[in-house]
Amino acid sequence: MEKYFRFSILSIITTYLLIFFGGLVRVSGAGMGCPDWPKCFGRWIPPTNINQVPEIYVEKFNIVLAWVEYINRLFGAVVGFVILLSCLFAYLYFKKNKDVFFPMLAALILTLVQGWLGSVLVHSVLNPITITFHLLLALIIIGLIIYSAIRAYTVIKGNSEVNSNYPKKVKWLIFSIMICMVIEIIIGTEIRGALDMSRKDNPLIEGAILLKMLGSFKYVHTVLGIFLISITYILRNVLINLELSCSRLMLFSVNSMFVIFFLQILSGEFLVFFDVRPVIQLFHMWFSSLLIGLCVVQYTCFKISKA
């Protein structure tokens, strides 16, 4: 059982690293680094010089981008394998516990779908809607694994929420954070996609200027972000006032959420007011995936406190 818990934690960590790497592929423009899928320029090991590239692909060869994209695929395969093992252990130790086994099984199936979606991405030459789906699916997968891991922990170490007693408004606060966050992420990917489109139509113009040219939905992103950090602050105050009837995990996740929201606002405003730096874009995206994870932690804590 412990083994399953360890593997589920390993799945969470590697999946988060993979989300980071996927974002890195996007911001470094390596999405089409390999023009084919699953092979790269017709090879299982990407070419190291232009002579190895088949003639039909010659203009597309960029050694850096090819390897960045290919390492993402390889790492994706490794993570898929870790999730497969986790699912196997879940089956061995938790097959009767549907709160542990089924989320992990769903995560495994969705991971396979995610790999397939990766191939669709390449064949559609990075269709923006498919990119968004690729990210959203990753967030669903990480959510499922986190839920399963906490559930398994509860079985192994006892319910950490046994003394918790959350008032109804905690539930509503958690739900509103969750819903607003999903909307916020979708608007964020829209801004990102619109920026890419406008960069194509206005080559050689700086990102910050293009961002200013975008429609008013970018303000919705800022306003909703401030709203989200405010609700998180309220939730935090409610929980602190509960004192002992709030678990440490719950309080930790809300505190972390508050800190990360703060970092999100900082990085977001940096992008708007200074420069559309790829590294900042990358962390802005990755932090939002951490926030989704924390949201799932809170939801799970609340749920098992009722059990």
Residues of the shown chain interacting with another protein in the complex, contacts defined by CB under 8 A: 20, 24, 27-30, 32, 35, 56, 58-60, 62-65, 68, 125, 200-204, 248-249, 252, 278-279, 282-283
Q: How far is CA 155 from CA 2, 97, 207, 252, in A?
A: 10, 9, 50, 21
Compute φ and ψ for 277, nearest 5 degrees.
Answer: -80, 130
Q: Which residues pair with 43 in a beta bridge?
A: 40
CB of 129 to another protein, least distance (A): 15
Measured from the CB atom, the residue of 231 and 282 that comes closer to another protein is: 282
Min dist. Cβ of residue 227 to another protein (A): 26
Gap between the Cα atoms of 199 and 197, Å rounded: 5
Cα separation, 231 vs 238, whole angstroms: 11
CB closer to another protein, 84 vs 196: 196
- Nearest distance from C-beta of residue 226 to another protein, angstroms: 23
The helix (H) or strand (E) run that includes residue 164 is: none
CA-CA distances (angstroms) from residue 20 to 7, 16, 24, 73, 266? Answer: 20, 6, 6, 13, 19
Say how far apart CA 70 and CA 62 lie, in whole Å. Answer: 12
**Type of residue at 285:** M
* Two tokens, residue 132: 């968004």
CB of 39 to another protein, least distance (A): 15
Q: Which is nearer to another protein, 59 or 243 (CB)?
A: 59
Q: What are phi and psi of 162, to 5 degrees?
A: -65, -30
CA distance 193 to 214: 11
Report in angstroms how near the CB of residue 223 gets to another protein at its nearest: 27
Least Å from the CB of residue 178 to another protein? 22
- Cβ 60 to another protein shortest distance, Å: 5
Buried b (16+ CB within 10 A) or exposed e, 235-245: bbebbeebeee
Residue 67 or 94: the one with the smaller Cβ distance to another protein is: 67
Which one, 204 or 244, has the nearer CB to another protein?
Answer: 204
Cβ nearer to another protein, comparing 20 with 175: 20
State yes or no: cis peptide before 103, omega within 30 of 0.
Answer: no
